Structure 1
Amino acid sequence: MEITTGACRLGLWFVHVSWQGDLVLRVRFSRQGVESSVPAPIRRYCAGQREDLLALTSTATEGDSVMARIYREVRRVPYGETATYGAIAAKVGTAPRVVGMAMARNPTPLVIPCHRIVAKGGIGGFSPEVGIKEHLLSLERRAARKNGEFNPDL
């Protein structure tokens, strides 16, 4: 099967995706792009529809490395909710700093929803810009409200 690449809008950003079937190989954010084909769940998510992206997979979750275990745990954080770096670290048996490092190296954001992982005292970081993380959390908050799933802690 051939690898496909495409992009869709997410507010002022473009989400560039490389995928093969339901396997997402890479997701990146850019200020530039041209709208083209992306997996339907990602397009719906970026349009603000309630979409958890669990039908898509990432090679980053395969294996038993600390990073893969962190990524699998992050995928368990439900749409519209957040968890702290420390909470993920405790579940995986590592340090919060290691979780932060894994989030910074996440090859498939959205599929592995690193934007849902926040610092104990604030929002935490996000590459390439924390404004994207804020936008994603706001998008999920709005969709959750629309579906009657309001979470005031988000």
Structure 2
Amino acid sequence: MTYTQSYNSPLGRIVLASREDALIGLWFESQKYFGRTLCEEVVKKETSILRDAHRWLDLYFSGHRPDFVPPLQLLGTPFQQQVWQQLLSIPYGATTTYAQLALTCHTSVRAIGGAVGRNPISLIVPCHRVIASDGSLTGYAGGTDRKKALLEMEQCLIG
């Protein structure tokens, strides 16, 4: 069973999805690949996992660095999961490039872009912290305006 709940953020409505033991989705409403991991019966219900995710979002959007990560279950291919684990290592207030991730994962920039773009747990798995080598804000499933706002909120240096 998958449980969902919405969250009203300063950048638009967010939909959260969990199973009993882990968060499986966090998307801005209508973003690219929205709800991709929702493939079973969905029930709107508050769970402890969704409460943790709400608390994480409350801290994040109030300008604080959350000091915890709710339990996550990243649903994707082994390669996507490898890339998403790399995203989790990007510190708050920092960025990396698609090229740097490609070197770390021993693959192409294009493959990295595909995996980053399909990240099912936005914000907590910080795909918004991945930028182009020239500093431009290419690609973000939630939209580049949101990506820019998130990086500004985290006070990341934008090229």
**TM over 0.5, yes or no?**
yes
Deviations 1:10-63 (A, max 9, x none): 2241121112466211111128xxxx86521122213332226x5224322788
Mapping of residues 1-154 of structure 1, within 5 Å = 3-20=2-19, 23-30=22-29, 38=51, 39=53, 40-51=55-66, 54-60=68-74, 65-121=78-134, 122-141=136-155, 152=157
| Alpha-carbon distance, 1:126 to partner | 0.7
**TM-score (normalised: structure 2):** 0.74
8 A Cα contact 2:11 2:146, kept in partner: no
- Secondary structure, in 3 states, of the residue corresponding to 1:42? helix
Aligned-residue CA RMSD (Å): 2.6
After TM superposition, the runs of 4+ consecutive aligned structure 1 residues lying more than 4 A away are 151-154
Q: Give structure 2 stretches of 5+ with no counterpart.
A: 31-45
> What fraction of aligned residue pairs are identical, expressed as a percent?
24
Deviations 1:83-117 (A, max 9, x none): 00010111111111111101111111112110001
Q: Give structure 1 stretches of 5+ with no counterpart.
A: 142-150
